[in-house]
Amino acid sequence: MQPRSGIALVAHDSCKQDMVDWARFNRRTLSAHRLYATGTTGGRLIDEVGLSVTRLRSGPHGGDQQIGSRIAEGDVDLLIFFWDPLTAQPHEPDVRALLRLAVLSNIPVACNRATADFVISSPLLTGRDPWTPELVPA
Ligand SMILES: O=C(CO)COP(=O)(O)O
């Protein structure tokens, strides 16, 4: 993964506040990368977090497929997808296709905050050398 990796951010409606909170907490790291998002998720990340995001169509209107296409083109190196396990989605085939393509392409996929926390703190994304201890003020 390169310093300016492509990161796709997608959240279903019940998970959007979680995504906004998580992105706000990780704003500095995220802002060092190329960000892509589906329409409504992207709108909230722009308006509420102040991130610069390439905003694609809303998920049910082809946004998931557009993210999949970016993965296939090699533009997206990491997918953060907070999908809702309790609600049926009208565009379920698109959701499955996106997750399938991400796995097929062997990119990291985080489907909940715990996994997203692991991934975002990777030295591959933060650019920090894992072997150099942090400087702790005395
Ligand atoms: O539906 C989605 C993912 O499947 C997300 O789309 P929105 O960000 O437009 O709500």
**Across 12-128, where does the E strand assignment appear?**
34-37, 54-55, 78-82, 109-110
Percent share of the chain, pLDDT over 70: 91
| Domain 6-126: homologous superfamily in CATH | Methylglyoxal synthase-like domain (3.40.50.1380)
Instruction: Give the Å distance between the CA of 16 and the centre of ligand 1.
Output: 9
33 carries a ligand binding annotation? no
138 has a pLDDT exceeding 70 = no
131 has a pLDDT exceeding 70 = no
Instruction: Give the Å distance between the CA of 3 and the centre of ligand 1.
Output: 27
- Predicted local distance difference test score (pLDDT) of residue 124: 78
1 has a pLDDT exceeding 70 = no
The whole-angstrom separation of Cα 118 and Cα 96 is 23
Enter the pTM of the model.
0.92
Q: Domain-by-domain residue ranges, the chain? A: 6-126
21 is catalytic: no
Q: What ipTM was predicted for this assembly?
A: 0.98
